[in-house]
Amino acid sequence: MRINIYYGGRGLIEDPTIYVMERLTEVFKELRVEVIRYNLYEDKNSIATLPATLKEADGIILAATLEWFGIGGLMQQFLDMCWLYGDKEALSGLYMLPVVMATTYGERDAETTLCKAWETLGGVAIPGLSAYVEDHDEFENNEVYRDIIEKKAESLYQFVNRKVATLPNSSQAVRQNLSHTRKIELTQEENERLSRFVSDDGYVKKQKEDIEELSEMFKQMLGETDKPEDTSVPAEEFVDDFIKNYYPQADFSAKYVLVIPERDENLIIDVTPSSVKCYYGNEPEGDVTMRVPLKLMRSILSGKETFQKGFMAGDITAKGNFKTLRMMDQIFRFRYKK
């Protein structure tokens, strides 16, 4: 028997999900089960090829760490690739145990998301593990919690070993209906070859360049030329936007450092319950430091995007206190501008 673990966290030492995975692995090894773990943060450049590994598994574990909102961008990307390139026959009936450890609110919602996604893919989701962990050390040293985790490993083993039957659910009907929307039917070999191309950054970049070149050529033939996008950054751009759209929160103070690659200085935002200061400077770090591309920053300030969506999509990278990061969309509310 083989169990595959797909870990969607960031690999931090204090991540409680890592402890849970290690406890589950120990139990499986005692039961003489082979365990293979895939860290998505290490394999992010080849996530499109990972669905092929599902064919070798008898059961899997989807392990996510909830630090801010949802199951995280890497796990979502992996599930997307399963839908696009996964072998639907291999996925059908494959047992999945969801594991979600949270340092903020929403662990049960995240577990439900994993279950719904897996059932829509055709697999079987069994009752999982979800918990809010405030103190990492206390959680690890709690014997009651340890017993719960170990019993859950035994539960997955029994489901897989006995091939326990489950009742039908509406997600299966959804999958059948959505599957009809695919107009191009590919063989499994073609799917895997396409997934390798998708994971090849050089290949994808070359294809995008070719498409852009052809697009520009046809526009010139038709006499239609677009004006180049303005990538310059006026001296005080964004400063007034943050000041005018600040909604203070009681007992909340923080310092944000926004790194905009297109300009030399960072955008510094100091917020308190009574005021906000916004200016450009060379300060490298704050309570939260985030890298925001110029185009995305303009979209956020025009109300078309949010910091949360940008972070979940992987367009924004950040470090620091994630609770403080989550407050960005609450203390700064930008209205949509056409």
Q: Is residue 233 domain-resident? A: no
**pLDDT score of 280:** 92
Last residue of some domain: 156, 174, 189?
189
Residue 227 has a CB neighbour count (10 Å cut-off) of: 5
48 and 141 belong to one structural domain? yes
**pLDDT value at residue 218:** 66
The confidence score (pLDDT) of residue 191 equals: 59
pLDDT of residue 180: 47
Q: Distance between CA atoms of 116 and 110, rounded to whole angstroms?
A: 10
Distances 181 to 11, 92, 174, 177, 240 between C-alpha atoms, Å: 37, 19, 11, 7, 46
Assigned domain for 83 exists: yes
What pTM, to 2 d.p., does this model score? Answer: 0.56
Q: Would you call 132 helix, strand, or coil by DSSP? A: strand
Confidence category of residue 310, pLDDT binned at 50, 70, 90: confident
Torsion from C-alpha of 294, 296, 302, 303, nearest 10 degrees: -160
Same domain for 185 and 243, yes or no, is: no
20 or 232, greater pLDDT:
20
Per-residue pLDDT, averaged over 174-183, amounts to 52
Under the banding of pLDDT at 50, 70 and 90, the label for residue 182 is: very low
**Predicted confidence (pLDDT) at residue 50 exceeds the cutoff of 80:** yes
pLDDT digits (tens, 9 = 90+) for 68-83: 888 989 999 999 999 8
In whole numbers, what is the pLDDT of the chain averaged over residues?
Answer: 85
Which pLDDT value is given to residue 80? 93
Q: What is the pLDDT of residues 52-68, one digit of tens each?
A: 999 989 999 999 999 88
* Among candidate residues 67, 72, 71, 3, the one with its CA nearest the CA of residue 38: 3
> Alpha helix (H) ranges present in the chain?
16-30, 73-85, 88-91, 107-121, 136-140, 143-162, 170-179, 188-199, 201-221, 239-244, 294-301, 307-312, 322-326, 328-331
**Is residue 43 in a domain?**
yes
Measured distance CA(309)–CA(10) in Å, rounded: 18
- List the one residue out of 278, 307, 273, 304 whose CA is nearest residue 290: 307
Model pLDDT, residue 296 = 92
CA distance 68 to 226: 39
Domain shared by 52 and 137, yes or no: yes
Q: Tell me: the pLDDT tens digits for 93-134?
A: 899 999 999 998 899 999 999 999 999 999 999 999 999 999
31-46 per-position pLDDT tens digit: 999 999 999 998 888 8
Judge if 9 and 152 occupy the same domain. Answer: yes
Check whether residue 144 and residue 258 sit in a common domain.
no
The number of folded domains in the chain is: 2
Q: Residue 256 belongs to a domain with what CATH number?
A: 3.30.1050.10
Instruction: Return d(Cα 279, Cα 299) in angstroms, integer.
Output: 20
The answer to whether position 234 is within a domain reads no
Looking at the structure, do residues 34 and 172 belong to the same domain, yes or no?
Answer: yes
CA gap 213, 269 in Å, rounded? 40
Domain of 46?
2-189
Q: What is the pLDDT of residue 87?
A: 86
Q: 267 with 162, same domain?
A: no
State whether 177 and 263 are in the same domain: no
28 and 154 fall within a common domain = yes
- Enter the tokens of residue 176: 């059948």
Q: For residues 48 and 114, state if they share a domain.
A: yes
Indicate if the pLDDT at residue 171 is higher than 80. Answer: no
**Are residues 277 and 144 both part of a single domain?**
no
Whether residue 19 is found in the same domain as residue 145: yes
Q: What is the dihedral of CA 17, 19, 21, 27, to 10 degrees?
A: -150
Does 204 fall in a domain? no
DSSP 137-149: HHHHT-HHHHHHH
Residues 6+ apart with CB under 8 A from 124: 93, 94, 95, 96, 118, 159, 166
Say which residue, 131 or 220, is predicted with more confidence. Answer: 131
> Is 323 inside a domain boundary?
yes
CA distance 305 to 310: 7
Residue 114 lies in a domain: yes
pLDDT of 176 higher than 70: no
- pLDDT of 68: 85
CATH number at residue 107: 3.40.50.360
- For residues 92 and 36, is the Cβ–Cβ distance under 8 A? no
In a domain, 220, yes or no: no
147, 162, 189: which is the final residue of a domain?
189
- Does 255 have pLDDT greater than 70? yes
